[in-house]
Structure 1
Amino acid sequence: MVKETNEVHGAEVTILTSATMTVAPALPMQEHRLPLSNLDLLLPPIDVGVFFCYLQPAPTAAALKEALAKVLVTYYPLAGEVVANADGEPEVLCSGRGVDFTEASADDAELRELRLGMVDEGVEKLVPAKKAGVICVQVTKFKCGGAVVGCTFDHRVCDAYSFNMFLVAWAAAARGGSAALAPSFRRSLVAPRDPSPRTHSTDALIDRLFSPLSSAPPPPPSSVTATAVNRIYHISAADVKELQARAGPTRTKLEAFTAHLWQLSSRAASERQSLCCMGMVVDGRGRMFPDGAMETYFGNVLTITYGVIGSGDLRRRMALADVADDVHRWVREAATGEHFRGLVDWVEALRPKPAAARAYLGGTGGAEATACIVSSGMGFPVSEANFGTGVPAFASYHFPWPAGAAYVMPMPSARADGGWVVYVHASPELVKVMEEKHSIFKALDNSYVFG
């Protein structure tokens, strides 16, 4: 048994971790290699976590392992491992090695005692650190009978959309059913065109948004990486609606939220940071194939677009509606099928040289800019994460990533009342601004989480 401790309400909560076992697919498979797509290759080797909190009765480790073995038959790449090909590029060895599964317990603590909003105190030891394979799982039982199910996955293999598909299928298997649709691993859907009909306008946009790593500007000096603060907040449905109204009737909720966060970032900027870069992750499935051909595609289909505005302009002169107009403009120019197909071609011409999104580095502002990325988690399947004992009382992503930019991910609240839960990884300066009086970002106290 391994002991770990978390600080909860000033007291230590001991988490006892038993030996980790490996859950293999229920059926044997022929070992083979699955190449990553050109869009997968744009992702750095980073891991993303998710976790679900269940009050009593909670799903048992035995039931979760049995269902996991079943669902890994169709989601077989998740039972493999990432290896390098002859060119040094990552790909998935579909070997059936299985998924590392850890059972843990917090026998001296109630689930309701966890300070989930204070991520580094209440969540860190509940979401496993992946040591091998593509994903790993940890189930932590509490003395109240509740449990937390935490998962971590390799972002190079799949995006949140794809992993959500897996979570829904896993939960369905635990309830004795199956997912409506099987995942698709058809790399032909994101294959480069031959010959590549790259247009000048497409090239200009891609060259602004992405850069070969050897020619990318050095990371801006930032306190985010070394002193980053991880928080989870909630935003009421009324505040989301009011924010959208202020941004303008034709702006989406996410555009309004991003514009508001952009303004807050400017207030947190230091004197040397004269520019503010705000980025947004855009999914390309419906853009590349409006007919739904990529609805079940498993992999990354993402681009990261951004805008840069002077910190002073954002603080003093720009109304939220004006900022939202700017967000809408640069999101719209990247949210096209032509952009995604051009991006696939661009990576192909670059291979095996890696590339990175410029938004991580402050965009064209470089060292003079703050950097913040917004990724929508509004497709997070909270209501479908029922492993046979009911829906979770709370759920969130967990992404304390190592990059220098702040990262913010809103998702629907488990309360299903139209409110949001927002995961934040940011500098102390930005977090301080977000927590000011009358802010829409509310502390995640236990009365909100568990009622």
Structure 2
Amino acid sequence: MESAGKNENFLVTKSVPVIVKPASKTNGGLFFLSNVDQYQCLIISTVYSYKPSTRSSDNVFEVIKQALAEVLVHYYPLAGKLIVGSDGRLVVECTGEGVPFIEATTTHELEALGNLTKSNFGILGQLVHTLPPTKSILEVPLLAIQVTRFNCGGFVLGVAINHSMVDGLCAMEFISSWAEIAKGSPITVLPFLDRAVMKAREHPKIEFPHHEFFQIKDLPKTITASEDEIFLIKSFSFNVERLEQLKRSAMEDGLIERCSSFVVVAAYTWRIMTESLKMEADEMTKLVFPVDLRSKFNPPFPKGYFGNAIFHTGCLCSAGELTSKPLSFAVQMVQDSIKLVTEDYVRSAIDHYEVNRKNPMATYTLFLSTWSKLDFLTTDFGWGKPNQVMLGNPGPNLCFILPQEEGKKDVDILVVMKESLMNTFEDVIQL
């Protein structure tokens, strides 16, 4: 057994990883990654917390591990490895070699985790499989699983997956299928593995200006000064009254007629982030957020599409413009950037990446994503649904719109940023 590092007296003991291979023979060869997959080659970790139930968790490792072997038969590219193809592009070699699975234990009760939105990445990082810093993402498994059993019988599932393989909805379909197998049920949605719909055209045609690819060259001094600080997680709630107030403020000058909660929260949070960074008036500020493409293509994406069916659109202007103009200015920018995302625009952007290889996520002031349409809290492996789900690894200036409870109209956001910036952000945001 090897022990993980300590953090505030929270200690997890991990087994040496075992490799879980697909339960039966799978296809070999090379698996294509689209341009949208290419620029998202980074590891995303999530942790799912399961309270003790009437069913004993003594066999939780075996049940989840066996179901993983079976679900990998359908999602076999995840059991392969990332390589660089002859054309310099990332591609998955479907070797069927499997994924690391770590059995972990702790003497703590599950209650020791508390509210995960108020946790820290030192603790969360112990609940997912992490490798020492490597020279290349090619050395990191496409998928790695850790199950941590707590003294009370509760457990935490930690999933570390390469974003080039899945977007949020696709990841949820994979985990739901895995959970269905664990309970002895048939898979509801089988993966559609052909990503050809997202291929660049043979003769690239860039038909639009693509501001989302703009690279900010000079980062605000407040970012570079905080490089050695720890990342913090905090949640903030926009109650119904505050949302209505912000919408009225956005519409009072008559520039926009209507405004959704997502749009006003995105616009307001971007402005607050820009103010918190104390940016110079002529510095460029950039908001980046994903838009789901599944229903925007004709024909729509096949059910169970396995890959990134999202596009990262962006808003770009000077910090002075954003912070001095009425809220309607930012709201209109967000609305316009969403309207831009048509099939024609996305195909132009895919071709833009083919020619220029610029990443829309390379530089941004705020990256915002919505988890509100993801069924994180419904994944039942046989011990009930998770009581909490949380991001397991940090990143700079992230904001997530969290799922809403049924009937609730408040909007909760989770933000991740360096400590000094978080302190300023808290002072500036008015909720």
**Which TM-score tier does this pair reach, normalised by the shorter chain?**
0.7 to 0.9
Question: 1:244·1:253 contact (CA, 8 Å) conserved in 2?
Answer: no
Structure 1 position 15, deviation (Å): 1.0
Output the amino acid matched with 2:37. D
Larger strand fraction of residues: 1
Whether contact under 8 Å (1:392, 1:414) holds in the other structure is: no
1:95-154 C-alpha deviation (Å, 9 max, x unpaired): 1111111111111x2211225223224312112225632100111111122111110111
TM-score by length of 2: 0.85
The correspondence of residues 290-329 of structure 1 with structure 2, limited to 5 A, is: 291-319=299-327, 321-329=328-336
Deviations 1:27-60 (A, max 9, x none): 11242111212222232x3110111111102761
Equivalent residue number for residue 383 of structure 1: 377
Matches within 5 A, 1:406-421: 406-412=397-403, 417=408
Q: Report how far residue 425 of structure 1 moved.
A: 2.4
User: What runs of 5+ residues in structure 2 fail to find an aligned partner?
Assistant: 132-138, 252-256
Q: Deviations over 1:204-235 (max 9, x none)?
A: 2x3x3226xxxx56462533654352304253
Equivalent-residue separation in structure 1 for 2:406 and 2:387 (angstroms): 8
Equivalences for residues 157-306 of structure 1 within 5 A: 157-196=165-204, 198-199=206-207, 202=208, 204=209, 206=210, 208-210=211-213, 218=217, 220=219, 222-223=223-224, 225-227=227-229, 229-233=231-235, 235=237, 238=240, 241-242=243-244, 245-246=247-248, 247=250, 250-270=258-278, 272=280, 274-275=282-283, 276-289=285-298, 291-306=299-314
2:359 counterpart of 1:356:
yes
CA change 1:301–1:262 in 2 (3 A) is same
Shift of the 412–243 alpha-carbon distance from structure 1 to 2, 3 Å rule, reads farther
Contact 2:46 2:159 in 1 (8 A): yes
* 1:380 partner letter: L
Assess, with a 3 A threshold, how the Cα gap between structure 1 residues 336 and 228 changes in structure 2: closer, same or farther: farther
Q: 5 Å matches for 1:123-138?
A: 123-129=124-130, 132-138=140-146
- Whichever residue aligns with residue 306 of structure 1, its letter is G
Q: Residues 226-246 of structure 1, C-alpha deviation per residue, up to 9 Å, x if partnerless?
A: 435230425366468546744
Residues 380, 411 of structure 1: 8 Å contact kept: no
Question: Contact (CA 8 Å) 1:256, 1:324: kept in 2 or not?
Answer: yes
Moved more, 422-431 or 94-103: 422-431
2:62 counterpart residue number: 62
Normalization by structure 1: what TM-score?
A: 0.81
More deviation in 75-84 or 273-282?
A: 273-282
Deviation by residue 1:353-389 (Cα, 9 ceiling, x = unmatched): x3211x6424xxxxxxxx1111222232223211111
Q: 1:415 Cα shift? A: 8.2
Deviation digits for residues 186-209 of structure 1 (CA, Å, limit 9, x no counterpart): 12212333455543xx2x2x3x32
Among candidates 317, 334, 352, match of residue 346 of structure 1: 352
Say whether residues 1:113 and 2:115 are aligned partners: no
1:242/1:99 Cα in 2 relative to 1: closer, same or farther (>3 Å)?
farther
* Two-structure CA RMSD over aligned residues (Å): 2.8
CA shift at 1:20, angstroms?
1.1
CA contact (8 A) 2:232 2:419 kept: no
Residues 414 and 172 (structure 1), Cα distance of their counterparts in 2 relative to 1, 3 Å cut: farther
C-alpha change, 1:310 and 1:159, in structure 2 (3 Å) is: same
Query: Are the equivalent residues in 2 in contact too, given 1:382–1:414 (CA < 8 A)?
Result: no
Do 2:27 and 2:76's aligned partners in 1 also have CA atoms closer than 8 Å? no
2:135 counterpart residue number? none
Whether contact under 8 Å (1:412, 1:419) holds in the other structure is no
Tell me which amino acid in the other structure corresponds to 1:37: S
* Equivalent AA in structure 1 for residue 237 of structure 2: I
